[in-house]
C-alpha cells in the first residue's frame, strides 16, 4: 500500500468511527417530550437533562418501572410530577428520622 492509500484508509476509518460515537451519544438524550401526564403513583424518580454538547433539549426524565420518559420542564404536569417525587422523598426522610411532620 502506498502512503496515500494508508492515509485514505485511516481517514475513512476515523470518519466512520466519529459517526458511530455521535449516534451512540444522542441515543441517551431526550429528543422529544412524552405527550401525556404520568400518574404520580407510577413515578419512581427523575433526573434533569440540560443542554450540553451532546443533547440539545432541556428535559426532565421521569423514571418509571422499566422506562424513562422525557417531559417538558416548563409544563405544569411535569412540575406536579417533580413535586410528587419530592414530597415522597421528604416523607421517607421524616420516617427515617422518626419525626413525622404535622401538616397544616
How does pLDDT run across 59-95, given as a tens digit for each residue? 999 999 999 999 999 999 999 999 999 999 999 998 8
Give the pLDDT of residue 62.
97
Taking the C-alpha atoms of residue 68 and residue 34, their distance in angstroms, rounded to an integer, is 10
Residues 24-70 pLDDT 10s? 444 589 999 999 999 999 999 999 999 876 788 999 999 999 999 99
What would the CATH number be for the domain defined by 30-97?
Answer: 2.40.50.40
DSSP state of 1: -
Cell 422499566 belongs to 66
Q: What is the pLDDT of residue 22?
A: 44
Quickly state the pLDDT bin for 101 (edges 50, 70, 90).
Answer: low
> Cα Rg for the chain, rounded, in angstroms?
22
Domain layout of the chain by residue ranges: 30-97
Give the count of beta carbons closer than 10 Å to the beta carbon of residue 69.
Answer: 19
Give me the residue label for grid cell 438524550.
29
Q: Is 102 helix (H, G, I), strand (E, B) or coil?
A: coil
Instruction: Report d(CA 91, CA 86) in Å as an integer.
Output: 9
pLDDT at 25: 43
Strand (E) positions, 1-104?
A: 45-49, 59-64, 67-71
Amino acid at each position: 500500500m502506498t502512503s496515500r492509500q494508508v492515509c485514505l484508509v485511516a481517514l475513512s476509518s476515523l470518519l466512520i468511527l466519529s459517526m458511530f460515537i455521535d449516534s451512540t451519544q444522542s441515543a441517551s438524550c431526550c429528543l422529544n417530550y412524552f405527550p401525556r401526564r404520568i400518574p404520580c403513583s407510577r413515578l419512581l424518580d427523575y433526573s434533569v437533562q440540560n443542554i450540553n454538547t451532546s443533547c440539545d433539549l432541556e428535559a426532565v426524565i421521569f423514571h418509571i418501572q422499566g422506562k424513562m420518559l422525557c417531559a417538558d420542564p416548563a409544563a405544569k404536569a411535569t412540575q406536579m410530577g417533580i413535586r410528587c417525587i419530592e414530597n415522597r422523598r421528604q416523607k421517607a426522610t421524616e420516617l427515617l428520622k422518626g419525626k413525622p411532620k404535622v401538616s397544616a
